[in-house]
Structure 1
Amino acid sequence: MTQNDLGEEKSGPQKPHRLSDIIRSIDTREDMTIGQLADSLGDRAFGALMFIFAVPNALPMPPGTSAILGLPLVILTWQVLVGRHSLWLPKLVRDRRISREMLERFVSRVTPIMARLERILKPRLGFLVTSDVAERVLGLVAFPLALILFLPIPFGNIPPAAAIACLALGLAERDGLAVAVGYALALASTAILAAVSSALYVGVVAFFRALFGM
């Protein structure tokens, strides 16, 4: 990805629209396919879509949200990792529909959050986000988080979703501080999921030992 992929217009230094503008522009009057949503975002697709697909999993949303949004998030973060300059989505994902109700709930809940965040988001600490290497490192962190988010782990969606949302904000707004916060949340997510997995394993082992008198 080049700087154009992160929001600069090729024709000049015109300031890109903020993510809140993009979110407000989503048409919530009818169902929309993921392909239609991606096409509407243009050169903001990577950061904006990562945020749009991640943040609902960190908020109270209808059941099945992660099943709809998880796979495209895995594909997106993989492409950031390998350094693709243009977004590609398989037809199976592009044709997947997002209901009007889900879009409406997302826009109504996320827009106030974005309004507060945009008071502090700004281009800074560019070494964490503006180079090809920095973007690939971001993808290296976000991709396994997206895989975790896609898996049906009870209560396992919120920490990785929050981390990916921060990384996406940093990518879209070229804010290295947001990326740094995303990295910290990624470490916290890994620690939390490791602790939960360990506790589940101990519980399952104890259950079968009690069941079979071992």
Structure 2
Amino acid sequence: MKPLSQILRELTAAEEGTLSVGQIVSAFGPRALGALLFLFAAPNLLPLPPGSSTVLGAPLVLLSPQLVLGVRRLWLPRRAGQSTISAATLHRVFGRITPWLERIEQISRPRLSFLFSPLGDRLLGLICVSLSLVLILPVPLGNLLPAAAISALSLSLVLRDGFIALLGYALAATSWTVLVLAGHLIIRIFDHTLTLLGMA
């Protein structure tokens, strides 16, 4: 099968017109689920306007549960499949991601295949679901670690590379640790503020 980077280059070759989500899904074939997870997660690693992570994270909330359910063929609502994306937007965003993807593909190979058993795929999907819910929250810079984790996990699913999956799991653990610590810090600050105001 064609490398993911080659398909992306073909999809982003034109800088005019539009592509439907259905066309993009067809281009990736049986790897569409993992590929779309990557396509919606990876752009969050780039400097984007505020609120972009919420827009990009919403499809992840729809897609990632399908891994948990063991869906073999990607399902999309008809309206979602018919929605279009500007070719110029695809070129602008994924033109910056594709060179990095090509470097990863050059050193990647299928390994640690036990991580991609039916149970392993469901675990991967469950983590992506939880991180997707974090990604859609409007937290400044709070989207970077979840986006990196989902990008790594979804890419490992496409490439069947267990080393990339382990990196994704490590990023996910780091993301949740940072989230818990940040939440704890916010609660402490809130309690301290109430104490100073004589309200606690």
TM-score for the superposition, normalised by structure 2: 0.88
**Pair 1:174–1:211, CA change in 2 (3 A):** same
Decide which structure has greater helix share: 2
**Pair 1:212–1:90, CA change in 2 (3 A):** farther
Amino-acid identity (%): 41
Distance 1:154 1:194 in 2: 16
Distance 1:59 1:200 in 2: 27
Q: What residue number does 2:9 align with?
A: 24
CA RMSD of superposed structures (Å): 2.0
* Residue identity in the other structure for 1:112: P
**Pair 1:36–1:65, CA change in 2 (3 A):** farther
2:155 aligned residue (169, 177, 200): 169
| Count of residues in Structure 1 that have an aligned counterpart in Structure 2 | 198
1:110 aligned residue (81, 94, 97): 97
Distance 1:185 1:144 in 2: 13
Q: What residue number does 2:112 align with?
A: 125
CA apart distance, 1:212:
5.5
Q: Is the 2:45–2:144 Cα contact (8 Å) retained in structure 1? A: yes
Within 5 Å, which residues of 2 pair with 1:73-112? 73-112=60-99
Distance 2:57 2:20 in 1: 15
* Residue identity in the other structure for 1:17: K
CA apart distance, 1:36:
3.6
SS at match of 2:107: coil
Structure 1 gap segments, 5+ residues each: 1-15
TM-score for the superposition, normalised by structure 1: 0.83
CA apart distance, 1:211:
4.5
Q: Is the 1:72–1:89 Cα contact (8 Å) retained in structure 2? A: no
SS at match of 1:98: strand
* Residue identity in the other structure for 2:70: G
CA apart distance, 1:97:
4.3
**Pair 1:201–1:125, CA change in 2 (3 A):** same
SS at match of 1:155: coil
**Pair 1:89–1:211, CA change in 2 (3 A):** farther
Q: Is the 2:51–2:138 Cα contact (8 Å) retained in structure 1? A: no
SS at match of 2:106: coil
1:96-120 Cα offsets, whole Å, 9 max, x none, are 5434443222122101111211122
* Residue identity in the other structure for 1:94: G
* Residue identity in the other structure for 1:107: F
1:67-114 Cα offsets, whole Å, 9 max, x none, are 322111111110011100111122454355434443222122101111
